[in-house]
Chains A and B, each alone.
Chain A
Amino acid sequence: MSERLPKPTSLWEYANPRRFMALSGFLLPFVAVGTAVALLIGLTWGFFFTPDDYRQGSTVKIIYIHVPSAMVAINAWMMMLVASLIWLIRRHHVSALAAKAAAPVGATMTLIALATGAIWGQPMWGTWWAWDPRLTSFLVLFLFYLGYMALWAAIDNDDTAAELTSVLCIVGSVFAVLSRYALAFWNQGLHQGASVLRAGAVTGDTEERVSNIFAVPLFISMAGFVGFFILLLLVRTRTEVRARRMKALQARERMS
């Protein structure tokens, strides 16, 4: 940044592309280092220094990538929904671009959750895949990501693409939730309930709790995955902002 910008008076001013570039450029190194540290600690701790579970053996180590990736996969879609709403209501370009930037990251996380789940399921349930509601809804979520990205890619006009994908994201969210309940109705599952963040999970004494020795590295790893998402989100949104600016400049050249 060559020139100084006046001090922002509201959070919304960060939606100004120039201000966003300044802030994200400033934050980027911190996020990168934080993510690297959290991932390194979380995963090495999880991989090398945790005991095996007495029933699941060493496969319990897969939890340090399976659970965080699944969490990010869902929350990335939530973030896209919020960004789409902000774009439709307040018309901030950065918001639409952030939603676009998040989709491939969310899709990759969904893929990781599905792949690690399959690898974990093979020794534990004796099958790579079961048409269990939780598994199936992740597959459906993956399809939603694919449709969303395909729509972005197919439309030439950026503003039209931003609008239409936002509409799709909102309608898709409703249908994703509906599918989740429909799938729960359709088949009882093999997959255990969400046991990590349940109230009794860390301190309680329930049968399925994830006990303390596993919990601490898991939380660090989760922080690392969230950091990874934010890092990529910033990088990719910056790319989109630049690409948008470039298109605008080129359009202006042609006009003059």
Chain B
Amino acid sequence: MMPELGKYAAEVLSAYAVTIALMVALLLISLRHSARTRRALRDVEAARKNRSGKGSATDG
């Protein structure tokens, strides 16, 4: 399965590893931040709805 990378195997593999690591890290950070904000917003809107009874949550 592994292609023959010759004498430059270390360079090619490390380049791919660095790239994938950075992209996955960025993706995970963004998704976690997104989930946390979504949860927090839902809490705030729920609290608001309970208190006023008529305030409607629009999106979230």
Contacts and interface: CB of A to CB of B under 8 A. Distances in A.
A52 interface: yes
Interface residues of A, number: 44
A43 B12 CA distance: 12
B34 A108 contact: no
A66 B44 contact: no
B11 A115 contact: no
A59 B37 contact: no
A242 B12 contact: no
Nearest to B19: A65
Interface of B is mostly: helix
Contact of A116 (B6, B15, B30): B15
Given A246-B40, A249-B45, A1 B11 contact: no
A134 interface: no
Interface residues of B, number: 35
Contact of B41 (A61, A111, A120, A245): A245
Interface string A36-76: 00000001000111001000011101100110010000000
A100 interface: no
Contacts, number: 104
A62 B15 contact: yes
B26 A232 contact: yes
Contacts of A249: 41, 44-45, 48
Nearest to B35: A239
B7 to A, nearest CB: 7
Given A57-B7, A115-B15, A120-B11, A228 B37 contact: no
Contacts of B5: 58, 61
Interface string B17-28: 011001100110
Contacts of B60: 242
Given A112-B22, A112-B23, A116-B19, A238 B44 contact: no
B50 interface: no
B22 A108 contact: yes
Nearest to A122: B11
Contacts of B59: 1-2, 18, 21-22, 25
Contact of B33 (A1, A52, A105, A239): A239
B6 A242 contact: no
Q: Which 4 A-B pairs have the closest CB atoms?
A: A58-B5, A119-B15, A65-B19, A239-B34
23 contacts: A2-B57, A2-B58, A18-B59, A47-B16, A58-B3, A58-B6, A58-B12, A59-B11, A61-B12, A105-B26, A112-B22, A115-B15, A116-B19, A119-B11, A119-B14, A120-B15, A228-B23, A232-B26, A236-B30, A239-B33, A242-B37, A246-B37, A249-B48
Interface of B: 1, 3-9, 11-12, 14-16, 18-19, 22-23, 26-27, 30-31, 33-34, 37-38, 40-41, 44-45, 48, 56-60
